[in-house]
Amino acid sequence: MSEISNHQAERREKLSALFYAVMDRNQAVETIRANDHPIRHCTAHDVIALVDEFVKAQTPISELKIGINKFLNVLGKTIREMPEVVAEEDSFWIAFQRNSQHLASLLKDFKAHVKTLISNHSNNTAQQEAAQEFKAIAAFEPYYTIKENVLFPVLEKCWPDFRCLQVMWSFHDDIRGGLKEVQQILNTYPLQIKDFNKSIGDLYFNMLAIKLREDKLLYPHAANTIDDQHLQQLIPECNAIGFPYFQAVENKKSTQMTESNDTEGSVDLATGGLTADQLILLFNHLPVDITYVDEDDKVRFFSDPPHRIFPRSKAIIGRDVHNCHPPESVHIVHQIIDNFRNGSKDSASFWINMKSKMIHIQYFALRDKTGAYRGVIEVSQEISAIKKLEGEQRLLDWQL
């Protein structure tokens, strides 16, 4: 066993040196030639563990993503030959595979539109047809949301070397930006062909690269390390967000995750008492999304109203809040919580445009009677209608 561990450590050390050589372009060709054996024998876990080390070393995310793309290109033949998850019809992985395969088919078919537009970019009819067909590709975005909000929290709890997920999340966001960019270009006349060529090329590269890394690295290692029954219980969580093309099949193995049966009696809330059922009803009928993070930065609760603004999954309960945000914005989360904890701030507010909606996001520090910091509550609300209010409508003015 120790001999295997030594070989693994030696292989990863050489792969790490290879990564930095490729990233820095410092004798990259010579280093690749000298490391043919570790390249050919690299495993999915080797890649996952290496990226974890790079993230822990605080390599800037923009540099790390460029380096990873180059590094995995060097490992391309080895990665393509790695086995994929063999998914049964009722398994957790089958919906991921079917949706991913359908995306690949859509991307392949869309190349015909790309060729047509390149040869005649002043053809408005062809541009309209391409814009219409591209909607099916853009609809893939919830797939990434499911990974981030259902699968990633489980992997974070089970893997000590989970930080590669942060990098993958950043690639997801690149894809989201690319989807919006291509849609905007296709809906603008006349077609800016240079912008289109660059945007569609970047999008194809990112979407297909992530698919390969899922198929050959992430999913196989997850399937080998996470209990299948646990994964089956996540299926309702996935379907609650909604796969883009094919929903997962729920069966006896994928019954809803264990819920509290404590429905008798009431909880003393100082100004009244409510049962657990009443508390659930109360939170889920407020016109806001609420998420509570405790003083140890762990997610402990979220409300579940009928129309959530941002997706949430039960899988995030117990998750470190810093892992709930992409790398580019997580430092802001750090600052907010640090200011709440040291008492210099009690709240923070943000507002964003999301499609046709205006979203108001507020963070409030929670403190007990002694003033001790007890966590933070996030409150998000869609305020488009509120912004339009004028004059008054008093209670007596209300009509059925």
* CATH number of the domain where residue 98 is located: 1.20.120.520
What ranges in the chain are assigned the alpha helix state H? Answer: 2-24, 28-34, 36-40, 44-56, 61-74, 76-80, 93-119, 124-138, 141-146, 152-158, 164-186, 193-213, 219-225, 228-232, 235-241, 276-285, 327-342, 384-387
> Domain for residue 395, yes or no?
no
Could you give the 3-state DSSP secondary structure of residue 361?
Answer: strand
> Domain for residue 103, yes or no?
yes
Which of 24, 57, 80 finishes a domain?
80
Among 273, 391, 343, 323, smallest CA distance to 157 is for 323
Are residues 170 and 65 in contact, defined by beta-carbon separation less than 8 angstroms?
yes
Same domain for 98 and 209:
yes
Structural domain count, the chain:
3
> Domain for residue 255, yes or no?
no
> Domain for residue 256, yes or no?
no
Same domain for 302 and 193:
no
Are residues 328 and 166 in contact, defined by beta-carbon separation less than 8 angstroms?
no
Same domain for 171 and 105:
yes
Q: Which domain holds residue 125?
A: 93-241
> Domain for residue 165, yes or no?
yes
Same domain for 110 and 231:
yes
Residues ≥6 apart with Cβ < 8 Å to 289: 302, 303, 305, 308, 309, 310, 312, 378, 379, 380, 381
Same domain for 211 and 324:
no
> Domain for residue 343, yes or no?
yes
Same domain for 97 and 237:
yes
Same domain for 234 and 134:
yes
CA distance to 318, 323, 363, per residue, from 157 (Å): 9, 11, 25
Regions of the chain short of the pLDDT cut 50: 1, 3, 257-263
Same domain for 101 and 226:
yes
Tokens of 347: 């709240």
83 sits in which H/E element:
none
> Considering just the CA atoms, what is the radius of gyration of the chain in Å?
24
> Domain for residue 394, yes or no?
no
Which of 198, 223, 241 finishes a domain?
241
pLDDT at 259: 43
> Domain for residue 294, yes or no?
yes
CA distance to 147, 171, 239, per residue, from 243 (Å): 10, 19, 6
This prediction has a pTM of: 0.85
pLDDT at 1: 45
Are residues 38 and 90 in contact, defined by beta-carbon separation less than 8 angstroms?
no
Same domain for 234 and 321:
no
Which of 175, 206, 241 finishes a domain?
241
Are residues 172 and 148 in contact, defined by beta-carbon separation less than 8 angstroms?
yes
**Distance (Å, rounded) from C-alpha 50 to C-alpha 68?**
10
Could you give the 3-state DSSP secondary structure of residue 360?
Answer: strand
pLDDT at 5: 67
Main-chain phi, psi angles of 248, to 5 degrees: -75, 150
Same domain for 281 and 163:
no
**Distance (Å, rounded) from C-alpha 87 to C-alpha 185?**
38
Same domain for 224 and 104:
yes
Q: Please give the torsion angle defined by the CA atoms of residues 89, 94, 98 and 99, in that order, rounded to the nearest 10 degrees.
A: 140
59 sits in which H/E element:
none
Could you give the 3-state DSSP secondary structure of residue 377?
Answer: strand
Among 166, 211, 225, smallest CA distance to 72 is for 211
